Amino acid sequence: MERRIPDGLVAALARAKCVVVFTGAGVSAESGIPTFRDAMSGLWARFDPMQLATPEAFMRDPVMVSRWYDERRLNCAACTPNPGHRALVLMEERLVAAGSEFTLLTQNVDRLHQAAGSRNVLELHGSIWEWRCCACGARREERGGPLGEYPPRCACGGIRRPGVVWFGEQLPGAVCAAADRALGECDLFFSIGTSAVVQPAAGFIHTAKKRGARTVEINRDPTPVSDLVDWSVMGKSGEILPELVDRAFKN
């Protein structure tokens, strides 16, 4: 794992025809959003996120689970995109302007990529802003203050759940199909700010490698994929990405 950005990686990005970027919670850390595995602080310190982010947990204790998600939603509302998000917007703009393709696959539910201006974003784990009725399926985006009632209720009388994908649930089919298509064509694959342990997302790197893509990891810490990639750059995405994009597209 290197701390500096290798020249070969800069050149590969500058030449790439089809880039897939896969992001996780680490990309939003510098915006003030705790990573998934760091999220259990304060009142929630005694809980395991794996025990809250499941359909079983919601069925067992919808009050607690919906309150936890609403607190996380309100925390996201106070956060703005950081230089890492903005560098990915620039990466997309420069690649698309050059006739190349760019797809951003994210596990993040905060929509900060879209807030920064990223266009071709596929949300693998849904959105923390959208709540949906367990009875009638109606979806509504919640951008205001605390929902107040836990679990919140739909006009139909059903209870509403966060519009995220929980452990043990299927990823949205259309999103998976689009992700597969992008991975099948990419020549450069980035895994950024993700612990790379949750399937099927963790398998993306293998799909990209099989396809013959060069692979890159940018992470604060080593992960299970650090030894598999062509370039592993250790550091904060909000510092590495602006430098990488600047060097790749400076002309």
For the annotated catalytic residues, the residue numbers are 125
Residue spans of beta strands (DSSP E) within 52-201? 101-106, 121-123, 126-133, 139-141, 160-164, 188-192
Structure tokens at 104: 């951003």
Stretch that binds ligand OAD, among 10-18, 138-146, 164-172, 206-214 (CB under 6 A): 164-172
* Contact status: 113 vs ligand OAD (CB under 6 A): no
CB contact at 8 A, 175 and 92: no
Stretch that binds ligand OAD, among 60-68, 94-102, 165-173, 224-232 (CB under 6 A): 165-173
Which contacts (CB < 8 Å, 24+ apart) does range 154-159 have?
158/133, 158/134, 159/62, 159/133, 159/134, 159/135
Stretch that binds ligand OAD, among 137-145, 203-211, 232-240, 242-250 (CB under 6 A): 232-240
* Contact status: 35 vs ligand OAD (CB under 6 A): yes
Which contacts (CB < 8 Å, 24+ apart) does range 239-242 have?
239/83, 239/84, 240/5, 240/84, 241/83, 241/84, 241/87, 241/88, 241/91, 241/192, 242/83, 242/84, 242/86, 242/87
* Contact status: 223 vs ligand OAD (CB under 6 A): yes
For the bound state, the minimum distance from the C-beta of residue 243 to ligand OAD, rounded and expressed in Å, comes to 13
Residue nearer to ligand OAD on the CB measure, 18 or 229: 229
* Contact status: 130 vs ligand OAD (CB under 6 A): no
Residue nearer to ligand OAD on the CB measure, 146 or 222: 222
Which stretches of the chain bind ligand OAD, using CB under 6 A? 24-26, 29-30, 35-37, 53, 107, 125, 165-167, 193-195, 198, 219-221, 223, 236-238
